[in-house]
Structure 1
């Protein structure tokens, strides 16, 4: 193939269209097709100008003949971008997207959304994945205070020990899903509460991986006690009668008719303890035997199923149902654990969402 005066390459032609050779007839058909594509591109460009100015990108297509055309970006709508963004797996990835440019992370004046593209994707993700009961446990969207991205993050990581009470408890290596008791040999009691996940209705299931002989249970949400309260010395919900007036001062109408304000399962001997935070009640509410009681040991996983539709708290050991420990429950509760520093070992617990054993039909939480 030789260069002509214009510097372009001639197309070789031959009769019969042999392999590797383009015939004159094929060249003519290709030129007609190019003309059709250019005409269609011009129509799209005119349509884009009618809807507003849109950026177009040049595209080079090479099929033996080099042709320049354009792609109209007016067809890449906000809905398409939102749908593509929805395939991002986590709130962290959406945050990374928001930080790439203002178009994703900031609300656009010309957009029909009342928030940014990333916020819309986070909102859709929460609404599609969370049940009604879970939505009731999440913070409400408030412009400038609780973003949909923060709500999605809370949904993804809603089980953690975010409140530590007493002077002998710490998170394990900064991991808020795991706590252990510290200090010299006991009796040193401290408490960890998953206060950010308040269970108000429906059924909820969590699993606790234990070391030692901790107590695991539920307690009323008490926001007024969590701002730096009870950070020194021993602390426990069930038996510290000196704290009962402070606890009851947090009462709200949401608590309902149940007088069980804190209840736990002893991993040491399987007994149950509960309290109404009434100073006039004797110790009969401590170390109660029940039909499914069974002791646990280090390495066991204790499952707790709180069904507020039925008012029951059931206990599982390594995915085996021990039974309903308490009924007649109503109102909101949070998960909590009580840890003890023993003479020869220390308690530790980690919390996570559990896969509910078959036939119970509860929401994992």
Structure 2
């Protein structure tokens, strides 16, 4: 009798044999189960090889197929409102044909992604920017491509002359590479046809900054020496060969601001050449300054700002389409550099 009034059972030899037998049975069952699993795995591997897969990774879990075409357009619209770029919308269109294909029920026969791209453009672009965005033409230009273009509007995509390059591969910035020879960079993909457009140029040195007619057929590779739009040594015949009907009757084909002293130049590439003339509000800029340019095609004016301070209207009588451009040169101790970006008009 043990303390506490209980009985303590003593293990016999027979009891030990029972424990050993039970452990052996458990191990045997485990081995059988492992063999069964290995057999199933081998069958899955062979099935995967027959179906063209050489991977040894076994499928995990259950594959659930969701019919995305049954998702309501309102839900898709809510989802896409969180997508910020044209690439993200493109990926959504590739996810399911119901998102990317035209919807017969739509009044304009657009896809859900196209409609979201259109709304994104309309919500982000100013009235002036809307005026320079390509017109939507079904089958050739899509709202998705327009959104992509809108996201990359301001950059120097055309370089003219052999003494200029993009700074560190960045197309929003250019720098001069040789001394005493001007070269020019144009933001040719951003054509301003109507409305108001404001851009900011962060400068080093004393570049020329201005507007020029769009010249899409000009062969940039043909000009490997000094190049500028305004001056007796420019290429007016080549420029006028690019004339189109939308230039209208306007005779200001290029106009720029010289950062050194603030003087203005303009030309019609014919009998009118005005270089380095004063205007009301003339004032120069220097390295580190930001030059703002406001082109208002409703009023036909080009207004200049210095570090968000309005200097005044530099040129009026403007009409027809224009692009932003800069002309640069490398000086003895430094090189002109300019970066461009869309800006918000100062108060």
TM-score range, shorter chain: 0.7 to 0.9
Give the unaligned 5+ runs of structure 2. 1-66
Q: Secondary structure at the match of 1:136?
A: helix
Q: Residues of 1 paired with 2:69 and 2:192: CA distance? A: 46
Task: Determine the C-alpha separation between the residues in 2 that align with 1:163 and 1:74.
Answer: 43
Q: Distance in 2 between matches of 1:131 and 1:109?
A: 28
- Asked if structure 2 preserves the Cα contact closer than 8 Å seen for 1:241 and 1:277, the reply is no
d(CA) in 1 for partners of 2:291, 2:98:
47
Q: Which residue of 1 aligns with 2:245?
A: 253
TM-score normalised to the size of structure 2? 0.74
Change (3 A) 1:238 1:139: same
Q: 1 CA distance for matches of 2:233 and 2:253?
A: 13
8 Å Cα contact 2:230/2:267 also seen in 1: yes
Q: How many residues align structurally?
A: 281
**Which residue pairs with 2:83 in the alignment?**
88
Q: Distance in 1 between matches of 2:246 and 2:272?
A: 23
Q: Distance in 2 between matches of 1:223 and 1:76?
A: 44
Q: Distance in 2 between matches of 1:231 and 1:178?
A: 20
Matched, 1:138 2:133: yes
Q: Which residue of 1 aligns with 2:145?
A: 150
Whole-Å Cα distance in 2 between the matches of residues 290 and 150 of structure 1? Answer: 41
**C-alpha offsets along residues 257-289 of structure 1, whole Å, 9 cap, x if unaligned?**
3311101001111111111111x456xx11111
The equivalent residue for 1:217 is: 210
Matched-pair contact (CA < 8 Å) for 1:163–1:192: yes
* Structure 1 unaligned spans of 5+: 1-71, 359-365
Mapping 1:1-365, distance limit 5 Å: 76-104=71-99, 106-107=100-101, 112=106, 114-183=109-178, 186-225=179-218, 227-241=219-233, 243-278=235-270, 280-281=271-272, 285-358=274-347
SS in 2 for 1:160: coil
Distance of aligned partners of 1:147 and 1:110 in 2 relative to their CA distance in 1, 3 Å threshold: closer
Contact 2:191 2:321 in 1 (8 A): yes
Shift of 1:114: 3.1
1:219–1:242 CA distance, 2 compared to 1 (3 A): closer
Q: What residue in structure 2 maps to residue 30 of structure 1?
A: none
* Residue 46 of structure 2: aligned partner: none
The alpha-carbon deviation at position 100 of structure 1 amounts to: 3.6
Whose Rg is larger?
2
SS of 2:217's partner is helix
Query: Does the C-alpha gap of structure 1 residues 334 and 108 become closer, same or farther in structure 2, counting only changes over 3 Å?
Result: closer
Residue 12 of structure 2 is matched in structure 1 by: none
Question: Residue by residue, what CA displacement relative to the aligned partner does 1:325-363 show, whole Å, maximum 9, x if unpaired?
Answer: 1111111111110111112210110100111011xxxxx
Distance in 2 (alpha carbons) for counterparts of 1:86 and 1:242: 49
Q: What RMSD in Å do the two structures reach over aligned CA positions?
A: 2.5
